[in-house]
């Protein structure tokens, strides 16, 4: 690889509940050295769940980092070693009460390659059956179905700005041929 | 706001060069308490630079967090207090050597609302004039133009997975009516 950066040393900074932070000294491609501050995270999943009426499940929740509520597709953190597909089925059920006949991969995204190693796995869920939602104890959100065409307009015009939601909706449109 | 989370206390964890980490105790909507681990970042910009031949400038660079090279649109970090539009023009020039007659906003994205406060501003640059690129001293990348239709296929099929690149390309397509 032309531009490889070699780790010279690592300073562990924070071993938290969902994030782990370290600062590495690296050798750059030209032989000089620099530092890279990195946030490690187990990764996550998100689900574009399309109902038989063409509506897509979204959730509205308070995001402390931004100090306000935003709209996203259902999502959650991977537990260590968990299969992303299992995680997607679990989060879909927890946040919307739905089970899906079919869950297929829409690939992954790298949300912030400059400083975080997180990978988010995106799934398309169809053949939905409604049940009861059952949220985590520190989770408060409102699930709402939005027609696909409206959601597409919202992610393209900036009414919805959550990265995984924009990517999920546009890849689902591509796969579904909408 | 129905789901507001109130800060009770803050523990500063790391005051780094590009990231700042803190852990807050919060009061949840039901009155219980929990913790939120938050990564603060000045934010960034990225640019969908479309040339007169329909090609879009991309950059390929080693991303230490993933341990490999990935393809992205030109991007960079905001300096404290910097206007995102000025930052976009600067990064476009640094990474591709181009100046643009017109730079317009494609809105913002929230890359990781679960734990980071970062906002990425997306711009569409047209009317490009070529010049000399001039990278930061710890920056090593290769700029390459990709035809718009090819890039669209790559972001939708998962050949390119950088979140800001997928969102930027799809919003540019929408605005340009492609």
Q: Indicate which of B27, B73, B163 best probes the interface with A, i.e. most A CBs within 10 Å of its own CB.
A: B163
CA separation for the pair A146, B134 (Å, rounded): 45
Q: What angle do CA A52, A159, A97 make, to 5 degrees?
A: 35
- Paired tokens of B166: 């997928």
CB B165 within 8 A of CB B47: no
Mean pLDDT by 10 residues, chain A (178 residues): 89 97 96 96 97 96 96 95 96 95 98 97 97 82 94 98 98 97
Residue B165: burial class (beta carbons within 10 Å; 0-12, 13-18, 19+): buried
Confidence at residue A138, expressed as pLDDT on a 0 to 100 scale: 80
DSSP code, position B114: T
**Which residue from B minimizes the CA distance to A32?**
B138
B31 Cβ under 8 Å from any chain A Cβ? no
B129 Cβ under 8 Å from any chain A Cβ? no
How far CA B137 is from CA of A39, B76, B140, in Å, comes to 23, 14, 8
pTM of the model: 0.97
Angle between helices B163-176 and A148-157 (to 10 degrees): 100
* ipTM at complex level: 0.96
Among A13, A63, A156, the residue with its CB nearest the CB of B170 is A156
% of chain B beyond a pLDDT of 70: 99
């Amino acid at each position: 690889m032309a531009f490889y950066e070699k780790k010279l040393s690592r300073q562990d900074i924070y071993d938290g509940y969902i994030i782990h932070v370290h600062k590495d000294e690296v050798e750059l491609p030209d032989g000089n050295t620099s530092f890279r501050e990195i946030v490690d995270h187990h990764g996550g999943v998100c689900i574009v769940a399309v109902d038989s009426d063409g509506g897509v499940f979204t959730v509205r929740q308070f995001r402390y980092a931004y100090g306000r509520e935003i709209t996203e597709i259902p999502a959650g953190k991977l537990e260590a070693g968990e299969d992303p597909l299992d995680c997607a089925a679990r989060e879909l059920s927890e946040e919307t009460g739905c089970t899906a006949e079919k869950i297929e991969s829409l690939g992954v995204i790298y949300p912030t390659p400059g400083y975080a190693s997180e990978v988010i796995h995106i799934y398309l869920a169809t053949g939905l059956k409604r049940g009861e939602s059952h949220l985590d104890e520190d989770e408060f959100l409102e699930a709402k179905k939005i027609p696909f065409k409206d959601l597409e307009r919202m992610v393209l015009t900036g009414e919805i700005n959550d990265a995984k939601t924009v990517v999920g909706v546009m890849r689902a449109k591509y796969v579904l041929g909408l």
